[in-house]
Amino acid sequence: QQDVIQDVPEAVAALAVPARRVCVLTGAGMSAESGVPTFRDVQVGLWEHFDPGELATPEAWERNPEQVWAWYSWRATLVRRAQPNAGHVAIARWQQLPDVDLTIATQNVDDLHERAGARVLAHVHGGLFDLRCSACGRASEETYPEVTEPVALLEPPECGVCGGPVRPGVVWFGEALPEDDFDAAAEAARSADLVLVVGTSGLVYPAATLPHLAGARGVPVVEINPRESGITEAADEVWRAPAGEALPALVS
């Protein structure tokens, strides 16, 4: 089995092993090996098959809530059936080490970090399962129906208080990020002694500024991603490997 375990690049180990305050910033690539599709990967990315303007904007919701609800119900079913991968588990174990203060700020709307046993400091793009009323804003106890393949239209549930349509708790294009989450992520990145950026294209703002905030304070930034990204240039070290292989090697 030895030959399938990734060798940790020396320069990465030199930064990661002594680090006591670690900030891990994750994107869709973190959950790719759990079978949750990314957004922008060639062929398999969601935006190769679906139009974000029709599904992930407040205008799309206003125009056609049934279409948006149907798509998120399918995505929620995928996430419910997915399991945390070895990368999620490795980060959770790292966080549990007594001499390490490790924070996680994720762009992912799934709950796979939590299901691996980790505590997430910030979900900067919200949570898929945090449903709320789109009219009065109250949190909703409703859930998504099981939908095992993309379907065209599904009626969203009604808010138990005002009757408005219940929406996913995610951040769509053009919407503000939850301020507390973004501020906590920014502070964690700035005050870390290592920022590890895992599985993001670094193309969506303002989340993509987080590694730069750290870099500007002299915090070393390490990228784990099989491919080049918008973060690569700002990274001090780059490890071209999948999260589910690199992270267990790093933490073992």
Measured between alpha carbons, how far is 243 from 105 in angstroms, rounded to an integer? Answer: 15
Give the residue numbers marked as catalytic. Answer: 125
Bridge partners (DSSP) listed for residue 32:
none
Of 115-123, 136-144, 151-159, 166-174, the segment contacting ligand BJW by CB under 6 A is 166-174
Neighbours of 112 (CB within 10 A): 23
Residue 174 as a binder of ligand BJW (CB under 6 A): the answer is yes
Bridge partners (DSSP) listed for residue 232:
none
Give the contact letters, 184-213, x = binds to ligand BJW (CB under 6 A), - = no.
--------------xxxx-xxxx-------
**Number of residues forming the site for ligand BJW (CB under 6 A):** 36
Residue 173 as a binder of ligand BJW (CB under 6 A): the answer is yes
Shortest Å, Cβ 239 to ligand BJW: 10
Q: Which is closer to ligand BJW, CB of 218 or CB of 252? A: 252
Residue 49 as a binder of ligand BJW (CB under 6 A): the answer is no
Q: Which is closer to ligand BJW, CB of 79 or CB of 101? A: 79
Measured between alpha carbons, how far is 137 from 92 in angstroms, rounded to an integer? Answer: 32
Q: Which is closer to ligand BJW, CB of 56 or CB of 189? A: 56
Give the contact letters, 231-250, x = binds to ligand BJW (CB under 6 A), - = no.
-----------xxx------
Long-range CB contact pairs, 107-110, < 8 A, 24+: 107/25, 107/26, 107/27, 107/28, 107/200, 107/204, 107/207, 108/26, 108/27, 108/28, 108/30, 108/31, 108/36, 109/168, 109/169, 109/170, 110/31, 110/36, 110/79, 110/82
Q: How far is CA 215 from CA 11, 101, 118, 122, 222, in A?
A: 17, 19, 25, 19, 10
Residue 226 as a binder of ligand BJW (CB under 6 A): the answer is yes
Residue 225 annotated as lining a ligand binding site: yes
Residue 107 annotated as lining a ligand binding site: yes
Q: In which residue are the tokens 């992930």 written?
A: 56
Residue 82 as a binder of ligand BJW (CB under 6 A): the answer is no
Q: Which is closer to ligand BJW, CB of 9 or CB of 29? A: 29
Q: How far is CA 199 from CA 139, 162, 175, in A?
A: 30, 39, 23
| Cis geometry, peptide bond prior to residue 206 (ω within 30 degrees of 0) | yes
Contacts (CB under 6 A) with ligand BJW, residues 143-162: none
Are the CB atoms for 26 and 113 separated by under 8 Å?
yes
List of residues contacting ligand BJW (CB under 6 A): 27-29, 32-33, 38-41, 45, 56, 107, 109, 125, 170-176, 198-201, 203-206, 225-227, 229, 242-244
User: Annotated binding site: which residue ranges?
Assistant: 72, 75, 107-110, 133, 136, 159, 162, 199-201, 225-227, 243
User: Annotated binding site for substrate: which residue ranges?
Assistant: 72, 75
